[in-house]
Amino acid sequence: MNTVEKIGVLTSGGDSPGMNACIRAVVRTGIYHGLEVFGIRNGYDGLINNDIIKLESSSVSNIIQRGGTILKTARSEEFITKEGRQKAYNNLKKYGLDAMVVIGGNGTFTGANIFINEFDFPIMGAPGTIDNDLYGTDNTIGYDTAVNTVVDAVDKIRDTADSHNRLFFIEVMGRDAGFIALRSGIAGGAEDILIPETVTYIDELVEILEKGFRKNKKSGVIIVAEGDDAGGAFDVARKVKEKCSGYDTRVTILGHIQRGGSPTSFDRILASTMGYGAVKALLEGRRGEMVGVIHRELAYTPFEKAIKHHKEIKRELLEMARILSS
Ligand code: F6P
């Protein structure tokens, strides 16, 4: 087993609230164990372009509460190429780095996995994405904060929806996954939640709405996951209007507001635990794995599995949401 003395840390892919808390944990756990820690800026692009800085304990002061990532992030096109990865490896060697922690989502771990297979370089990953779409952890860093941001917006939209007797279609992020939609829809008491994991039938949605309006509901909120098979919120609103022109409808796309903001205490603790767990794992000789937290315990899942296995949505929650909002 190679000894680990100098490690790098980077954030890659879409940023998520809590990434800074994770960077802080990596830096401080590393330094506590006598390691030198380097920050790689702009994700894998920083490795390729030599954008690497030494981090001290003080470099990560006062960041646990901040959204975004002090190391910046990118979705690197060059790292997808063999030449790009070779440059990245050469720079790692130039700095004498002997292991790395990468914080990001699916694309980040796919890149890390290819890199490990090519260069046999020790990497551990921490799941940082608001989408919560990674197998091997109950929650990803930033998911809880994003859900709370959505719920806050839904509450506000309800005020105006109620005042005007309007039906709102609110589109939330999540790429191909419906985790943000499902959890925020339940917490926001949505009339219905449309997610990519289930087929959306517009007739069924219209029926739910009509039933509600017959029972004297005057306003409503439908949460639409951006990856839903019926389309985005504008498409769904149009399709509902075609069947039932009586509603005064509005559409809100929440967009990148969901990616920013101060992380919740849940995300700060999760990110800290994962950063700590990733460094400890490297010191124990683990590599090629994503650190997760399952049932409040640290868990390690090979990148391959974290990327390829599908994290199941709890379908019963959809049914529950419908019952509770009827
Ligand atoms: O993966 C995080 C995410 O915010 C997705 O929910 C969304 O589809 C995507 O990134 C947006 O990417 P970009 O910031 O490049 O527009």
**DSSP string for 239-256:** HHHHH-TTS-EEEEE-GG
Of 201, 228, 259, the domain-final residue: 259
CA distance 298 to 304: 18
pLDDT, residue 245, reads 81
One domain for residues 206 and 251:
yes
Distance 130 CA to ligand 1 centre (A): 9
One domain for residues 227 and 92:
no
Distance 172 CA to ligand 1 centre (A): 11
Distance 296 CA to ligand 1 centre (A): 27
One domain for residues 50 and 104:
yes
CA distance 322 to 174: 21
One domain for residues 26 and 138:
yes
Structural contact between residues 130 and 177, judged by C-beta atoms closer than 8 angstroms: no
Write down the catalytic residue from 131, 133, 144, 267: 131
319 found inside a domain: no
One domain for residues 294 and 219:
no
Residue nearest to atom 6 of ligand 1 (CA): 174
**Single-letter code of the amino acid located at 164:** H
Tell me the three state secondary structure of residue 297.
Answer: strand
Query: What would the pLDDT profile of 2-25 be if each residue is shown by its tens digit?
Result: 689 999 999 999 999 999 999 999
CA distance 24 to 272: 7
One domain for residues 250 and 276:
no
Q: What is the CATH number of the domain that holds 116?
A: 3.40.50.450
Residue nearest to atom 8 of ligand 1 (CA): 175
Ligand 1 atom closest to Cα of residue 133: 1
131 catalytically annotated: yes
Residue nearest to atom 12 of ligand 1 (CA): 14
Residue nearest to atom 13 of ligand 1 (CA): 14
Distance 143 CA to ligand 1 centre (A): 13
Distance 129 CA to ligand 1 centre (A): 9
Q: Give the CA distances from residue 77 to residues 15, 50, 121, in Å, rounded to whole numbers and listed in that order.
A: 17, 16, 20
CA distance 3 to 170: 51
Distance 14 CA to ligand 1 centre (A): 6
One domain for residues 130 and 271:
yes
Residue nearest to atom 3 of ligand 1 (CA): 14
One domain for residues 156 and 245:
yes
CA distance 283 to 279: 6
Ligand 1 atom closest to Cα of residue 174: 6
66-90 per-residue burial string, b: 16 or more CB within 10 A, e: under 16: bbbbbbbbbbbebbeeeebbebbbe
Of 202, 226, 259, the domain-final residue: 259
Residues with CB under 6 A from ligand 1: 14, 105, 129-131, 173-175, 226, 259
247 found inside a domain: yes
Q: In the chain, which residues have pLDDT < 70? A: 1-2
One domain for residues 93 and 171:
no
Distance 56 CA to ligand 1 centre (A): 31
CA distance 282 to 188: 40
One domain for residues 232 and 290:
no
34 found inside a domain: yes
Residue whose CB lies within 8 A of the most ligand 1 atoms, among 11, 130, 149, 307, for a mutation test: 130
318 found inside a domain: no
Q: Show the domain range for 228.
A: 146-259
One domain for residues 242 and 299:
no
Ligand 1 atom closest to Cα of residue 227: 8
One domain for residues 161 and 36:
no
Ligand 1 atom closest to Cα of residue 259: 4
Ligand 1 atom closest to Cα of residue 175: 8
Structural contact between residues 102 and 115, judged by C-beta atoms closer than 8 angstroms: no
191-202 per-residue burial string, b: 16 or more CB within 10 A, e: under 16: bbbbbbbeebeb
Query: What would the pLDDT profile of 13-63 be if each residue is shown by its tens digit?
Result: 999 999 999 999 999 999 999 999 999 999 999 999 999 999 999 999 999
Task: Please tell me the total count of domains within the chain.
Answer: 2
Name the percent of the chain in helix, strand, coil, to the closest 5. Answer: 45, 20, 35
Q: Give the CA distances from residue 173 to residues 130, 149, 179, in Å, rounded to whole numbers and listed in that order.
A: 8, 11, 9
CA distance 119 to 113: 10
325 found inside a domain: no
Residue nearest to atom 14 of ligand 1 (CA): 14
Q: Characterize the bridge pairing of strands 289-294 and 297-302.
A: antiparallel
Token pair 């039938």 in the structure block, residue: 201
31 found inside a domain: yes
Residue nearest to atom 2 of ligand 1 (CA): 14
pLDDT, residue 1, reads 53
